[in-house]
Amino acid sequence: MSDSWRAIPGSIVAPRGFRAAGVFCDIKRLGTGKGSDKGAKPDLALIVSDQPAAAAGMFTTNQVRAAPVQVCLERIPSGRAQAIVVNSGNANACTGPEGLRDARTMAAVTARRLGLDESLVLVGSTGRIGVRLPMDRVRRGIADAAKALTADPAGADAAAVAIMTSDTRPKQIALEVPLGRHTVRIGGIAKGAGMIQPGMSPTGRRPASGWGHLHATMLAFVTTDAAIEPALLQELLEEAVARSFNRITVDGDMSTNDTVLCLANGLAGNPPLRRRAAPAVRAFAKALQHVCHELAMMIVRDGEGVHRVVTVRVEGARSDAEADAAARAVANSALVKTSWHGGDPNWGRIIDALGYSAATIDPQTVDIGYSAPGSSRIVFSLRQGRPTRISFQRLCAEVDRPEFDLHIHLHQGRGSAVIHAADLTEAYVEFNKGDVSDPASLGG
């Protein structure tokens, strides 16, 4: 790629002046929460900057907002934060005023342990809905995490594991980006798996235009040592999320807890980024977007039961909003998703979904084709509404890949949209039907 960044190790502790930790405090009450549980997956993460940082956030637009989301929504407008405390195993959602108090207490305990102002601590949670946090365990976890904080990549690894729920692997990335004579670093961790079709906004309110359709909890935490104005950081994060996390769907369900937070502590020493049009800002924006895109794709690839990742590319809609509606109708159709699982290049189900979407279509002008990811060599199954002469076997080969692009051209206008989607498998159903004989196994 022509972009001048390069990948580096360390994810969220790669940028200067960040430390992280992940510890086990048994939030799901799997065992005693004591020393005898050593070896269990960490479930509490802490991310801390050496100095107060510019802060930006994007939050679920679900009307049911988990308590930690409410706390972040109160604090992000200040544009400043220094630490993030996150637990998995419990979403702290639908827990009433007590839950909100618990989320504030998580921040307060973290602030006290770190000697920070409480208002500089942000909070995240993911897991089961409707159950109070075991605050005694959370307090112990925060104390342990504060002691374990380290700028060594092992700390970031532990944090990335601590935020996982049904994820099968941690999700991390870091880049080094040259900005003139300076070099800034951007790192990120994320979790996803189920209840994944984020539609996030900076205020938790939906845009007036609405979302196409919306719906896992996904969490992502991004750190950078760039010096940047908080308002500009928020603007760039919104742009990056709009093109990454808000463009993925695993199961079409939008969570109560979706959160992306970004801290920029300025320790790279670059001249502070202020104007969107400046070359350094454009370079930084592209790198930030790359971090968000890569983390978003890791979430789709590790979605519950996912065997195949399909990027749905709609062009030629009357507007970008109609393209988005068309892409989401296809990406969330149970029949289309099961056909992807089966490796069936079925265009009938695709055109059916387009036809019931909110996008205007004319079946006589629809093109449907396949390519390798990112390739423009499209093998069409349908042109202008008519099946092509490409053999069924050839089309099967196109969709018998772990990842492919589905190209749809409506020939109605200039609107376009891209949605990164997943197939629907028996494994998804098996996982999510849960085991009522073991309520602790049931997801949020």
Which residue stretch of 60-68, 71-79, 178-186, 260-268 sits at the interface with its own copies (rule: CB under 8 A)? 60-68
Instruction: Answer yes or no whether residue 402 interacts with its own copies by CB under 8 A.
Output: no
Instruction: Answer yes or no whether residue 64 interacts with its own copies by CB under 8 A.
Output: yes
Instruction: Answer yes or no whether residue 377 interacts with its own copies by CB under 8 A.
Output: no
Give the bridge partners for 121, in sequence order.
Answer: 83
Give the bridge partners for 20, in sequence order.
Answer: 47, 150
Q: What amino acid is encoded at 96 in this protein?
A: G
Q: Where are the alpha helices (DSSP H) in 190-331?
A: 230-242, 279-301, 320-331
Give the C-alpha separation, 15 to 273, whole Å.
Answer: 16
Residues 172-211 that bind its own copies (CB under 8 A): 194-195, 199, 210
Which residue stretch of 8-16, 176-184, 219-227, 333-341 sits at the interface with its own copies (rule: CB under 8 A)? 333-341
Q: What amino acid is encoded at 152 in this protein?
A: D
Give the C-alpha separation, 426 to 416, whole Å.
Answer: 32
Are 285 and 412 spatial neighbours (Cβ–Cβ below 8 Å)? Answer: no
- CB nearer to its own copies: give 7 or 442: 442
Catalytic option among 60, 61, 95, 217: 217
Q: What are phi and psi of 307, to 5 degrees?
A: -105, -30
Among residues 178, 355, 373, 413, the one that binds its own copies under rule CB under 8 A: 355
Residues 109-168 that bind its own copies (CB under 8 A): 128-130
Residues 419-438 that bind its own copies (CB under 8 A): 424-426, 428-430, 432-436
Residues 76-115 that bind its own copies (CB under 8 A): 91, 93-94, 96
Among residues 125, 256, 259, 265, the one that binds its own copies under rule CB under 8 A: 256
- CB nearer to its own copies: give 289 or 412: 412
Give the C-alpha separation, 375 to 385, whole Å.
Answer: 23
Are 75 and 106 spatial neighbours (Cβ–Cβ below 8 Å)? Answer: no
Give the C-alpha separation, 35 to 25, whole Å.
Answer: 10
- CB nearer to its own copies: give 31 or 434: 434
Which pairing describes strands 182-191 and 18-23: parallel, antiparallel, or unpaired? Answer: unpaired
If residue 82 lies in a helix (H) or strand (E), which one and from where to where? Answer: strand 80-90
Active site annotation includes 150:
no
Among residues 183, 338, 365, 388, the one that binds its own copies under rule CB under 8 A: 338
If residue 21 lies in a helix (H) or strand (E), which one and from where to where? Answer: strand 18-23
Among residues 83, 156, 219, 254, the one that binds its own copies under rule CB under 8 A: 254
- CB nearer to its own copies: give 126 or 265: 126
Among residues 301, 349, 409, 420, the one that binds its own copies under rule CB under 8 A: 349
Are 317 and 299 spatial neighbours (Cβ–Cβ below 8 Å)? Answer: no
Instruction: Answer yes or no whether residue 213 interacts with its own copies by CB under 8 A.
Output: yes
- CB nearer to its own copies: give 19 or 341: 341
Instruction: Answer yes or no whether residue 62 interacts with its own copies by CB under 8 A.
Output: yes
Residue given tokens 């909070």 in the structure block: 123
Instruction: Answer yes or no whether residue 61 interacts with its own copies by CB under 8 A.
Output: yes
Are 265 and 53 spatial neighbours (Cβ–Cβ below 8 Å)? Answer: yes
Instruction: Answer yes or no whether residue 390 interacts with its own copies by CB under 8 A.
Output: no
**Hey, which residues are catalytic here?**
217
